[in-house]
Amino acid sequence: MWKPGQKAPASGFYECDAGCWHRFSTNVAGHVLPPLPDGCAGTGWRLVEQRPGSAE
């Protein structure tokens, strides 16, 4: 789980940890994770789907 402002460890889809379907995607590893949306009860983002090839 990564906090807003940290760099994404991999490209792919991220979801807030509160389970309220807030999603964020990036195709660039190292992209800074955005703040959670207003009204979101979560505290960070978790990687739900890593894109193939993003490990390089």
> Considering only 3-11, 25-33, 40-48, which stretch makes contact with Zn ion by CB under 5 A?
40-48
Q: Name the amino acid, one letter, at 46.
A: R
- Neighbouring-strand partners of residue 13: 25, 49
* Shorter beta-carbon distance to Zn ion: residue 12 or 14: 14
Nearest CB to Zn ion, comparing residues 9 and 42: 42
Give CA–CA dist 36/52, Å, rounded: 25
- Contact set for Zn ion, span 17-36 (CB under 5 A): 18, 20, 22
- Rounded distance between C-alpha atoms, residue 56 and residue 43, angstroms: 28
Residues that bind Zn ion (CB under 5 A): 16, 18, 20, 22, 40, 42
